[in-house]
Structure 1
Amino acid sequence: MMQRIFSIRFILKALAAVTVALLVGVIATGGTYALWNTSTTIAGGTVKAGAATLVVSSPLTMSSTPLYPGLTTYGAFVVTNSGDVPLQLSVQSLTGVIASSFSRSLTVSVTVDPRVGGTVADCPGLASYPWSLVSTAPTTGSLGSTLNTGASATVCVSTTLDSGAPTAAQGQSAPAFVLTIGGTQP
Structure 2
Amino acid sequence: MTIAAAVVLILTVTGIAGTQATLRASASTSARSVVLSAGTADLSLTTLSLDTTALYPGLTLVGAVTASNTGNVPLKLGVAGLTMPSGSAANALSQSLVVGVRIVPSASACTASAATPTWSGSAASAPAGTLGTTLPTASSQVLCVSVSLPIAAPAASQGQSASGIRLRISGTQA
Task: Give the alignment's TM-score, normalised by structure 2.
Answer: 0.69
Which of 99, 116, 132 is the matching residue for 1:108?
99
* Cα drift, residue 160 of structure 1: 0.9
User: Which secondary structure state, in structure 2, belongs to the residue aligned with residue 128 of structure 1?
Assistant: coil
Identity %: 41
Could you tell me how far apart the structure 1 residues matched to 2:63 and 2:92 are? Answer: 23
Query: How do residues 1-186 of structure 1 correspond to structure 2 at under 5 angstroms?
Result: 49-56=38-45, 58-98=46-86, 99-113=90-104, 115=105, 118-119=106-107, 122-172=110-160, 174-186=162-174
Q: What does residue 20 of structure 1 align with?
A: none
1:45-84 Cα distance to aligned partner (Å, 9 max, x none) = 996621111011x201122211111111111211110111
* Cα drift, residue 155 of structure 1: 1.2
Could you tell me how far apart the structure 1 residues matched to 2:68 and 2:172 are? Answer: 14
Deviates more, 1:75-84 or 1:163-172: 163-172
Could you tell me how far apart the structure 2 residues matched to 1:174 and 1:159 are? Answer: 11
Could you tell me how far apart the structure 2 residues matched to 1:176 and 1:65 are? Answer: 18
Equivalent residues of 2:76, 2:133 under 8 A apart? yes
Could you tell me how far apart the structure 2 residues matched to 1:171 and 1:63 are? Answer: 17
Q: What does residue 28 of structure 1 align with?
A: none
Unpaired stretches in structure 2, ≥5 consecutive residues: 1-25
Unpaired stretches in structure 1, ≥5 consecutive residues: 1-40
Equivalent residues of 1:65, 1:173 under 8 A apart? no
1:132-167 Cα distance to aligned partner (Å, 9 max, x none) = 113345431111111111111111111111111111
Q: What does residue 22 of structure 2 align with?
A: none
Could you tell me how far apart the structure 2 residues matched to 1:173 and 1:66 are? Answer: 9
Q: What does residue 18 of structure 2 align with?
A: none
- State the one-letter code of the partner of 1:163: I
Kindly report the root-mean-square deviation, in angstroms, between the aligned alpha carbons of the 2 structures: 2.6
User: Which secondary structure state, in structure 2, belongs to the residue aligned with residue 102 of structure 1?
Assistant: helix
Q: Between Structure 1 and Structure 2, which shows a larger proportion of helix residues?
A: 1
Equivalent residues of 1:91, 1:140 under 8 A apart? yes
Could you tell me how far apart the structure 2 residues matched to 1:75 and 1:137 are? Answer: 22
Say how many residue pairs are matched.
140
User: Which secondary structure state, in structure 2, belongs to the residue aligned with residue 84 of structure 1?
Assistant: coil
